Structure formats: structure tokens, C-alpha cells
Amino acid sequence: QDYLVESGGGVVQPGRSLRLSCAASGFTFSHYAMHWVRQAPGKGLEWVALMSFDGRNIYYADSVKGRFTISRDNSQNTVHLQMNSLRTEDTALYYCARDVGDGYNVLYLDYWGQGTLVTVSS
């Protein structure tokens, strides 16, 4: 069974930082691209960031570009999302998800974690 488990969410004030982590197990993590996707309360899915299997291809949504940084450690089977200069509109449940592709060819997301909640509020 393939698993993704997110952690690191919490309540943070606007302008502060937070680092999310996603631990993978049950599959060869280093073969797959990984995404972060978020969902604001009661809203739909919004793609946030993508990193290729080897960490060389990185893409961000315009809404987070320059503030968020995705990284991965293939030796630890983890992917991270460093979130700086947080805004109230970043409040959401953040999911990590595995891409069937390698990040040079982006495909669909076949495994998702259960998400970690980030609340940005003063």
C-alpha cells in the first residue's frame, strides 16, 4: 500500500512562515514527481507546486511564486513546502500528491495524503 502523510500545519499570523512535510512509504519515492495541492475551506482544488522526481524541474502557481519553496529529500522519502510571507488567503488544507509521471511529463495524481491544515489569522 502506498502512503503519503503530511505534517506541519497549524495556526500562524500573516507574514509568518511555516514548513510542511510529506512522508512517503510503500513505493519508490525517487521515481515520481510530487505535487502540493490546496483546498480552502468549502472550496475546490488549487494546484500549488510541483517537483520532478530528481528535483530539477520545479513549478509554482502564480499565487505562491516567490513565497513558497518546494523541496524533496529522496534519501528520506520526503517532500517539503516552505511557506513564507503567509497571507490569510493561504488558509487551506494542503495535500501532497504523487504524480504518475516523473515531472518532465506531468500526468494525473494517483495518490494523495489526507492533508494538513494551515490557518493564517491574526
Name the site residues for another protein (rule: CB under 8 A): 35, 44-47, 50, 59-62, 95, 100, 106-110, 112-115
Compare residues 16 and 65 and give the one whose CB is closer to another protein. 65
**C-alpha cell of 44?**
475546490
The H or E element that residue 27 is part of is none
The length of the chain in residues reads 122
| Of 101, 114, 102, nearest in space to 37 by CA | 114
CB 21 within 8 A of CB 73: no
The Cα 70–Cα 99 span in angstroms is 15
Rounded to the nearest whole angstrom, what is the least distance from the CB of residue 59 to another protein in the complex? 4
The Cα 20–Cα 55 span in angstroms is 17
- CA end-to-end span of the chain: 40
Rounded to the nearest whole angstrom, what is the least distance from the CB of residue 61 to another protein in the complex? 5
Compare residues 85 and 105 and give the one whose CB is closer to another protein. 105
Compare residues 17 and 28 and give the one whose CB is closer to another protein. 28
Rounded to the nearest whole angstrom, what is the least distance from the CB of residue 114 to another protein in the complex? 6
Rounded to the nearest whole angstrom, what is the least distance from the CB of residue 95 to another protein in the complex? 6
Compare residues 48 and 83 and give the one whose CB is closer to another protein. 48
